[in-house]
Amino acid sequence: MNVLIYNEYLHEKEEGEAKRLYPEGIHHRLAEALLGIDDSLQFSFATLEDHAYVITEEKLRETDVLIWWGHMAHHRVEDHVVDLVCEAVNKGMGLVCLHSGHESKVFRRLMGTRCSVHWRVDYENGNIWLLDETHPLCQGVANPIRLEAEETYSEPFDVPVPDELVGITWWKGGEIFRSLCVYKRGHGKIVYFQPGHETLGSYYNDDVIRVIDNAIHYTAPSVRISELTSRYRLPEEKDVRKALYQAPEERESLVVSWDELGNGTVRYTGAEHPHTYELNVDP
Amino acid sequence: MNVLIYNEYLHEKEEGEAKRLYPEGIHHRLAEALLGIDDSLQFSFATLEDHAYVITEEKLRETDVLIWWGHMAHHRVEDHVVDLVCEAVNKGMGLVCLHSGHESKVFRRLMGTRCSVHWRVDYENGNIWLLDETHPLCQGVANPIRLEAEETYSEPFDVPVPDELVGITWWKGGEIFRSLCVYKRGHGKIVYFQPGHETLGSYYNDDVIRVIDNAIHYTAPSVRISELTSRYRLPEEKDVRKALYQAPEERESLVVSWDELGNGTVRYTGAEHPHTYELNVDP
Amino acid sequence: MNVLIYNEYLHEKEEGEAKRLYPEGIHHRLAEALLGIDDSLQFSFATLEDHAYVITEEKLRETDVLIWWGHMAHHRVEDHVVDLVCEAVNKGMGLVCLHSGHESKVFRRLMGTRCSVHWRVDYENGNIWLLDETHPLCQGVANPIRLEAEETYSEPFDVPVPDELVGITWWKGGEIFRSLCVYKRGHGKIVYFQPGHETLGSYYNDDVIRVIDNAIHYTAPSVRISELTSRYRLPEEKDVRKALYQAPEERESLVVSWDELGNGTVRYTGAEHPHTYELNVDP
Amino acid sequence: MNVLIYNEYLHEKEEGEAKRLYPEGIHHRLAEALLGIDDSLQFSFATLEDHAYVITEEKLRETDVLIWWGHMAHHRVEDHVVDLVCEAVNKGMGLVCLHSGHESKVFRRLMGTRCSVHWRVDYENGNIWLLDETHPLCQGVANPIRLEAEETYSEPFDVPVPDELVGITWWKGGEIFRSLCVYKRGHGKIVYFQPGHETLGSYYNDDVIRVIDNAIHYTAPSVRISELTSRYRLPEEKDVRKALYQAPEERESLVVSWDELGNGTVRYTGAEHPHTYELNVDP
């Protein structure tokens, strides 16, 4: 399983608590902790500094799951990278969005909302209550998960209703937060998980790490597509049409391309139908 | 709007805090409070003592919304009344299930689960966080709703995933609870709302009363059917079939009856099709 | 994986098409077909004739997934068996409900609705469209699944909104039907899948069999509980409370029993807390 | 109720069937038909030609519901208009997206997916089956809605799982399509409804018009906010915090502004708390 971790990696380079806790960066701590319990994972890394070079179309094609941690420099992530990531998720790549990543360009674009929260940093404890202990994200995890100290996020959390709401955090100061949510976008699964403030030690919490490991396996793609299916014309020829209604692996050979004028072409080459059909596609 | 309140009415007849708070019973307090803000409501009442006589098929037919409060005598509610109520909900009647009513036979049968909760009575305060302030149940209500003292219910709440999750309660002692939920069963809407322990004053809380009033309007039926549509045979005669695909008001004349051997009959009398068709129905 | 198939087994014993197609009964055909593609399965069988003896609490405890096919004798299934099955599902056992099983007592009780459909038997073809080809139920299956001839079921299908709607059938005569649905009840997963009229050969269709195999794996329990958690009192003693918030495997030792008067008792024996606590439980 | 109709208005200006059917444009036909059954509506219009001037922030602020019809010139809609519309929806404005509007920039951005469909134009008939006749979108509408001739759209429809799936279309040629869907994004409701090919007469179908009228009322805002709530810091001062937990109308005075460097400021002026607090907001 190929896991790519994007970590902004700014806080941990400045003197202070973040550096003390995560001297090599949050991404290295996550990889270390996950490898400690799961030897099926292969990690690679991207940071704000190098993200535009590391996160390429090719890199994403061989990535099963992308973990995203960002905070104060969301606006410095390049738009073409955001395009690539959102397209890769829609094609089937898994995405695990951590903590303040809820406001990243990537997550906001996939949600279609502002993704805002209310927040405090009072270093207070929280309990993450798991609503369904049989859910794959909850395997091997205590209920509730005890957070000794974490940044307080509060509802209203401005996201679409999750496809699966798995966990809700109670905060000592009076707030609650939907902290473990699953979304589907295109062929890809997305998990949002709240813990991980840079000056607090949640990534040393065994249950938190276990949930992230579960999330990697839960969002790992069962089906990847090589090109996003565009709006295409169902052919009227009866045999092509029959071919279209075949198993997914055969249909992958049906692709659509768009030229710069917005005209599209469908090319279909099936096992039983060795001809290539070119059909005009509505702009 | 005809609202029927079922209140078990046992706690309030014994000396103690419940009697002091609700001397005429929780049902009278609810009616009084709701009439104070909404003059469109007409109330009638049932209690454990008289429920088998009051809650009849006829009574339910003219009831728009049934409010249910029960606690220690769920097992004494008669099964034929439970049958009638569940059938009425499926036909379109609204149901607002309050507090410990989550374990009533009625609610459990409509859910298909055990509906258990974890609980404490520590008279502690809670905040009900509303996830979507635009929801009809939240109109005119503070967010969060402040409960000065309420019985603590905790997840896991053993219910199906709500069709709409509107509110979640934070409790001082460390728990959270999905306290405001909407379900649909057949033609009927169901709201579950947690506040209302018999020895605490939640039914004197303006926001709690407002939510109950909102719930009455939200669950009030838009469409009622006179008989539960049974599994029926789509006729092969072309004109009858066309008639079946008509507006709901015309289709109400299509009814199914079952004899004691389990054989069914469909009778259809349409405006354009004055004949009565009798079709065999699968047992 | 232990799979128990309940088949009513009445149609196939009478002379006619059902007997010709399924001479040893639908249950044997299903087992044969599933074993042909999946050697991880172990089958046992129950029929209407012996169901009251075969489907016991003990049998269900060792069953991972129950497949249910019934049609004209739903009313002859004994109520105590229905109780046991619904309880087993709530404890974690998987349930795959096929074809006319939608009107079985078991399915209706778990849904809380009438579960009625509209229907015709015109031996017409259908296409089951899969809405999400990445769903575990769709792996290795053509989209759409082509049904050469099947009984036509039509909306409105009187069930709660599915937790996951995976497939919808198009019928030649003009109807559509939500034919592949997932529900969760308690700790158990339920799949409803429409194909399987007794006089038609859907259980010889490779894609139909593949979906049933996928459904067995999808509903197989990740977590089983030995006793349904009842409404229980959260203890005020601090150390017990802490213990309650532990991993599920430890918490299984917390059980609730009810006496015949409706009084309950919680008994908790934890690893760190060797004492047994007896707490009064609200009736 | 102020309704703004955006119609691309290109097809109807060229000689042919679209012009014959909708000589003054689809927008004028929709307004005429809707006014015929609902005198509570006030219409204004935008077309591709003038959209950049008509669809301003001010115009959207006074618009209750925006209807969107576009087809071959989605790419010519200006990005700043798309920004404004998506922001207005998130603030509470209703959006009714018709037919090929599923591929508009506006709809795709709100969904986070490609929103592609498969399609044919074979002028064939369809039935829109309504899954829940009690839904506000279905009031006064036949089930199924009969479409004499419409463009065929087919699954897979690449959208997130709808918050409410209300209607599914059967097409004569073998496909089905989720044709009537509801989404929530921020404070705004979105309805997608499939009928409306420019060379076919669906906007002369009474049931289709009735659904659009229902959709206008269903998506009309109950709560509008003047500014999108940004990620803001919960104040630690106790009295401000209490103030934050007040009724929505009071909280509207809490606004957040962002400067060009990405630094934010919260300004709160409450009735009981006449001071203005300025709090740093996380970039």
Residue A245: the pLDDT is 43
The C-alpha atoms of residue A8 and residue D64 are separated, in whole angstroms, by 40
pLDDT of C166 > 80? The answer is yes
| pLDDT band with cut points at 50, 70 and 90 for residue A119 | confident
Interface residue of B165, B176, B181 to substitute, partner A, most A CBs within 10 Å: B176
Distance from CA of D80 to the nearest CA of A (A): 16
Task: Test A178 with B143 for CB contact under 8 angstroms.
Answer: no
D249 in B contact zone (CB under 8 Å): no
Residue B247: the pLDDT is 35
Residue D228: the pLDDT is 66
More reliable by pLDDT, A1 or A244: A1
pLDDT of A218 > 80? The answer is yes
C136 in A contact zone (CB under 8 Å): yes
Distance from CA of B59 to the nearest CA of C (A): 21
Nearest residue in A to D111, CA atom = A112
A122 in D contact zone (CB under 8 Å): yes
Task: Test B175 with A127 for CB contact under 8 angstroms.
Answer: yes
The C-alpha atoms of residue D91 and residue B41 are separated, in whole angstroms, by 33
Residue C267: the pLDDT is 42
Task: Test A248 with C143 for CB contact under 8 angstroms.
Answer: yes
Residue A271: the pLDDT is 35
Chain C positions touching D157 (Cβ under 8 A) are: 131
| pLDDT band with cut points at 50, 70 and 90 for residue B16 | very high
Question: What is the percent of chain D with per-residue pLDDT over 70, rounded to a whole number?
Answer: 80
The closest alpha carbon to D180, from D207, D204, D198, belongs to D207
Interface residue of C176, C177, C178, C179 to substitute, partner D, most D CBs within 10 Å: C176
Residue A235: the pLDDT is 52
Chain D positions touching C157 (Cβ under 8 A) are: 131
Interface residue of C134, C166, C217, C241 to substitute, partner A, most A CBs within 10 Å: C134
Distance from CA of A59 to the nearest CA of D (A): 21
pLDDT (average), residues B149-158: 92
How would you classify the pairing of strands D188-193 and D176-185? antiparallel
Task: Test B174 with A170 for CB contact under 8 angstroms.
Answer: yes
The closest alpha carbon to D96, from D225, D229, D224, D221, belongs to D221
Start-to-end C-alpha separation, chain C:
38
D150 in A contact zone (CB under 8 Å): no
Question: What is the percent of chain B with per-residue pLDDT over 70, rounded to a whole number?
Answer: 80
The C-alpha atoms of residue D186 and residue C99 are separated, in whole angstroms, by 40
Task: Test D113 with A185 for CB contact under 8 angstroms.
Answer: yes
Chain A positions touching D120 (Cβ under 8 A) are: 233-234, 236
Task: Test A175 with B129 for CB contact under 8 angstroms.
Answer: yes
- Which among A139, A221, A223 is the nearest to C222, CB-wise? A139
ipTM greater than 0.90, yes or no?
no
For residue B130, how many C-alpha atoms fall within 13 Å in the half-sphere facing its CB?
22
Nearest residue in C to B118, CA atom = C232
A139 in C contact zone (CB under 8 Å): yes
Lowest mean pLDDT among C84-88, C231-235, D4-8: C231-235
D142 in A contact zone (CB under 8 Å): no
Residue C227: the pLDDT is 66
Chain C positions touching B244 (Cβ under 8 A) are: 118
* pLDDT tens string A29-39: 999 999 999 99
Average pLDDT of chain A to the nearest whole number:
84
**A: neighbours with 3+ CB pairs under 8 Å?**
B, C, D
Handedness of CA A135, A138, A139, A142 (dihedral sign): negative
Question: What is the percent of chain B with per-residue pLDDT over 90, rounded to a whole number?
Answer: 71
For residue D177, how many C-alpha atoms fall within 13 Å in the half-sphere facing its CB?
30
Nearest residue in B to D186, CA atom = B132
Number of cross-chain residue pairs from C and D with Cβ atoms under 8 Å apart: 56
Task: Test D141 with B187 for CB contact under 8 angstroms.
Answer: no
Task: Test D155 with C127 for CB contact under 8 angstroms.
Answer: no
Task: Test D175 with C131 for CB contact under 8 angstroms.
Answer: no
| pLDDT band with cut points at 50, 70 and 90 for residue D2 | very high
Start-to-end C-alpha separation, chain B:
38
Only one residue has tokens 């309704």, namely D3
Helix axes of B206-219 and B26-37: crossing angle, nearest 10 degrees: 80
Number of cross-chain residue pairs from B and D with Cβ atoms under 8 Å apart: 49
* pLDDT tens string A235-271: 554 444 444 443 334 333 444 343 333 333 444 443 3
Chain C positions touching B246 (Cβ under 8 A) are: none
| D199: Cβ contacts below 8 Å, ≥ 6 apart | D11, D16, D17, D18, D21, D121
Residue C272: the pLDDT is 33
C242 in B contact zone (CB under 8 Å): no
For residue A95, how many C-alpha atoms fall within 13 Å in the half-sphere facing its CB?
33
Distance from CA of B283 to the nearest CA of C (A): 5
Give the single-character DSSP code of C269: -
Residue D180: the pLDDT is 98
pLDDT of A276 > 50? The answer is no
Nearest residue in D to B127, CA atom = D245
The closest alpha carbon to C219, from C80, C74, C110, C103, belongs to C110
Task: Test B75 with C262 for CB contact under 8 angstroms.
Answer: yes
Distance from CA of C37 to the nearest CA of B (A): 33
Q: Using an 8 Å Cβ cutoff, are A29 and A203 in contact?
A: yes
Task: Test D185 with A100 for CB contact under 8 angstroms.
Answer: no
| pLDDT band with cut points at 50, 70 and 90 for residue B257 | very low
The closest alpha carbon to C169, from B145, D155, D213, belongs to D155
Residue B275: the pLDDT is 31
| pLDDT band with cut points at 50, 70 and 90 for residue A202 | very high
**3-state secondary structure at position B248:** helix
Phi and psi, residue A191, nearest 5°? -115, 130
Nearest residue in C to B235, CA atom = C120
Chain A positions touching C247 (Cβ under 8 A) are: 140-143
| pLDDT band with cut points at 50, 70 and 90 for residue D122 | confident
Burial class (CB in 10 A: 0-12, 13-18, 19+), D65: buried
Residue D226: the pLDDT is 67
Task: Test A283 with D233 for CB contact under 8 angstroms.
Answer: no
Distances (CA, A) of B145 to B31, B129, B167: 21, 7, 10
D248 in B contact zone (CB under 8 Å): yes
D156 in C contact zone (CB under 8 Å): yes
Residue A229: the pLDDT is 53
* pLDDT tens string A47-103: 999 999 999 999 999 999 999 999 989 999 999 999 999 999 999 999 999 999 999
Number of cross-chain residue pairs from A and D with Cβ atoms under 8 Å apart: 116
**3-state secondary structure at position B156:** coil
pLDDT (average), residues B175-187: 96
Chain D positions touching A112 (Cβ under 8 A) are: 86, 109-112, 185
Residue C191: the pLDDT is 98
Nearest residue in D to C156, CA atom = D131
pLDDT of B270 > 80? The answer is no
Angle at D95 between CA D89 and CA D100, to 5 degrees: 125
* pLDDT tens string D190-227: 999 999 999 999 999 999 999 999 999 999 998 777 66
| B53: Cβ contacts below 8 Å, ≥ 6 apart | none
A234 in C contact zone (CB under 8 Å): no
Residue C92: the pLDDT is 93
pLDDT of B242 > 80? The answer is no
Lowest mean pLDDT among B40-44, C173-177, D26-30: C173-177
